[in-house]
Chains A and B, each alone.
Chain A
Amino acid sequence: MIDALIWVILIPLLGGLVAVLFPRIAGITGILSTAGMVFACLVLIKLVADSGPQVYLVGGWSAGLGISLYADGLSSLFLLMTAMIALAVSIYASSYFRQSHLRLHYWPLWLLLLSALSALLLASDLFNIYVTLELLGISAVALTALDGKRPAVEAAVRYLVLGLLGSLGFLAGVALLYAAYGSLDLATLATRIQPGAASWAAAALMTAGLMIKTALFPMHFWLPPAHANAPAPVSAALSALVVKAAFYLVLRLWLDLFGVSLSGGVSTLIGLLGAAAVLWGSWCALQAERLKVLAAYSTVAQIGYLFIFLALILEMPVGIPRDEAIAGLMLMALSHGFAKSAFFLSTGIIQQRQGHDRIKELAGAVQGMPVTTFTLALAGIALIGLPISGAFLGKWQLIDGALYLHDWLLALVVLAGSLLASAYIFRVLGQAFGNSPYPTKVLSIGMQEIPAMVLALIATLVLGLASGPIWPFLEVTVMSGRAGM
């Protein structure tokens, strides 16, 4: 049963190869591969829930020499989110790209991007993480430049340059760690690492590199053009999955590798940058002219929330409140993933039907498609963090954690951020109340609207009410996992 780890990576990869060889059946291959990926993830989660974190030694060699894959609560939950969003986006894309010639190039790149994501989420070897980061970066850039128009290609160029700089920073960190501690495996390094010049510099470089890739505040300027000009299914994947995978790595590094010995002043810096990202991202989203630019800046803000959460977790002593904070962080990340992908998919529907996504002239389209508007509203609620949504519980834990550490400023920033978020979300939803004629059909493009709505419902109802089992699953597997090896 342990092969589920490898299957999660192989299914999309093989799907990608088939899509290259037989372009005509690329759409069906895409949907089937993502469905297979969801099934494999479910098997993996059951496996991790029953017998704790799983280690898979690729090629049978011991973790020092060979490469090992590691799946614990954190990675398997991220994986399940990735798989579910991938399935919804694939169903959406098979209808979105039906007429366009881009269909030919979209599917192989999309499926290889998915295999890069699962490889990254399961990686437990530093250089292997570097290779998956590159695979992810290059496929994301290729997908961003898919429609070949000038703004998209310019955005892709800037995205590539910064992505490469981020990877170089990460590789420099890996080089230093290998030079100092002679191993690439996360678990062995965790036992060997001590505070010193090498580990400090490596931590700084790797975190800086990954911060570029997560588009944290000062280095966020490449994200809005890239996510706003990419085709809708691509920008949904970029915002919900790709940026979050880079954050997952920062989390993994600081929780398992650097966390104990090195946190010190770093958490205050991360907290400050996160707070700045929240305010700046929300402020720019408020000024955005186009819906997709608004969504992109909202991603910048949400990444800010995650980094604030990380700063709090690093300051907390190991114990129950810290485990709850990590679970809260996960809930916020998952909820943002589902909500943001639903938001982008709905924007894509509006853009395809209306020809543009300028917020001021949205009234006609928004009122003509009740299901799309309903999805936008649900996704908006989850992005703000209003009740019945996973983000609400995440925000609750975030403010609780801030108060636990008597960090009033961060708590107020979080509140201000969510008020700004409600300002820019309801600026869009306000368009839904003109008096243009009521539409005859409730569902206009089923194949596109249903996946988007399902994602929005997951973000709000499922994560809002039924997220009970996530907490014990996370607390057991994240904390106990690392010490064992």
Chain B
Amino acid sequence: MLSVQMIYGLAGVLLFTFALRVALSQVAFLRRVLAINVAGAGLFLVFISAAYKGAGQPADPVPHALVLTGIVVAFSATALAIALARRLHRPSDDD
């Protein structure tokens, strides 16, 4: 059980740090939004791998609820980011 947690957890850490690097570097804004989403996914992986209790037992439901909330929050932030980006490229007609 521990080895599964370990592998997925470390994979999550790798994803998180790699995505953080892209998010911090000066790249196009949409790419940074992508990077932030991937970094979030990495973190969620760490959460869920810690909750994994082995093949037989049911996993710990609290991190699952947290990650679900995290996904919705990440979506809201991305939606706002994209709307801001679009406003930058094409100021709306009524200005």
- Let me know if chains A and B touch directly in the complex, using CB atoms closer than 8 Å: yes
Interface positions of A (Cβ within 8 A of B)? 127, 131, 134, 137-138, 141-142, 145, 148-150, 153-154, 156-157, 160-161, 164-165, 168, 171-172, 175-176, 178-179, 184
Q: Contact string, B54-73, partner A, CB cutoff 8 A, digits 1/0?
A: 00000000110010011001
A178: chain B residues within 8 A (beta carbon): 47, 50, 63
Would you give the shortest CB distance from B13 to chain A, in whole angstroms? 9
Beta-carbon contact of A160 and B39 below 8 Å:
no
A157 to B66, CA, bound (A): 26
Would you give the shortest CB distance from B1 to chain A, in whole angstroms? 14
Task: Confirm or deny: B80 has a beta carbon within 8 angstroms of a beta carbon on chain A.
Answer: yes
Task: Confirm or deny: B7 has a beta carbon within 8 angstroms of a beta carbon on chain A.
Answer: no
Beta-carbon contact of B88 and A150 below 8 Å:
yes
Beta-carbon contact of A175 and B46 below 8 Å:
yes
Beta-carbon contact of B91 and A175 below 8 Å:
no
A145: chain B residues within 8 A (beta carbon): 84, 87
A134 to B91, CA, bound (A): 26
Known contacts A157-B85, A157-B88, A172-B16: A179-B23 contact under CB 8 Å: no
Would you give the shortest CB distance from A16 to chain B, in whole angstroms? 15
A131 to B77, CA, bound (A): 12
Q: How many residues of B contact A (CB 8 A)?
A: 31
Beta-carbon contact of A160 and B50 below 8 Å:
no
Contact partner of B77 among A127, A134, A150, A176, CB < 8 A? Answer: A134
Known contacts A127-B66, A145-B87, A153-B88: A138-B20 contact under CB 8 Å: no
A1 to B41, CA, bound (A): 42
B80: chain A residues within 8 A (beta carbon): 138, 141-142, 160
A148: chain B residues within 8 A (beta carbon): 87, 91-92, 95
Contact partner of A134 among B36, B47, B50, B73, CB < 8 A? Answer: B73
Interface positions of B (Cβ within 8 A of A)? 9, 16, 20, 23-24, 29, 32, 36, 39-40, 43, 46-47, 50, 62-63, 66, 69-70, 73, 76-77, 80-81, 84-85, 87-88, 91-92, 95
Would you give the shortest CB distance from B81 to chain A, in whole angstroms? 6
A179: chain B residues within 8 A (beta carbon): 9, 46-47, 50
Known contacts A138-B80, A171-B70, A178-B47: A161-B23 contact under CB 8 Å: yes
Interface pairs (24), CB distance under 8 Å: A131-B69, A138-B77, A141-B80, A142-B80, A145-B84, A148-B87, A148-B91, A149-B95, A153-B87, A156-B84, A157-B85, A161-B36, A164-B36, A165-B23, A165-B36, A168-B16, A172-B46, A175-B43, A175-B46, A175-B47, A175-B50, A178-B47, A178-B63, A179-B50
Would you give the shortest CB distance from A212 to chain B, in whole angstroms? 11
A247 to B66, CA, bound (A): 24
A175: chain B residues within 8 A (beta carbon): 43, 46-47, 50
Residue of B nearest to A147 (CB): B95
A137: chain B residues within 8 A (beta carbon): 77
Contact partner of A168 among B9, B20, B76, CB < 8 A? Answer: B20
A164: chain B residues within 8 A (beta carbon): 36, 77, 81
Residue of A nearest to B29 (CB): A157
A134: chain B residues within 8 A (beta carbon): 73, 76-77
- Report, nearest first, the 9 A-B pairs whose CB atoms are least far apart: A179-B50, A175-B46, A134-B73, A157-B84, A164-B36, A175-B47, A153-B87, A127-B66, A171-B43
B73: chain A residues within 8 A (beta carbon): 131, 134
A145 to B91, CA, bound (A): 12
Would you give the shortest CB distance from A452 to chain B, in whole angstroms? 29
B39: chain A residues within 8 A (beta carbon): 168
Contact partner of B84 among A160, A168, A171, A176, CB < 8 A? Answer: A160
Would you give the shortest CB distance from A35 to chain B, in whole angstroms? 30
A134 to B40, CA, bound (A): 13
Known contacts A142-B80, A148-B95, A178-B63: A168-B36 contact under CB 8 Å: yes
A141 to B87, CA, bound (A): 14
Given A138-B80, A175-B43, 10 other A-B residues pairs in contact with their CB atoms under 8 A: A134-B76, A148-B87, A153-B87, A154-B88, A157-B85, A164-B77, A168-B16, A168-B43, A176-B46, A179-B9
A131: chain B residues within 8 A (beta carbon): 69, 73
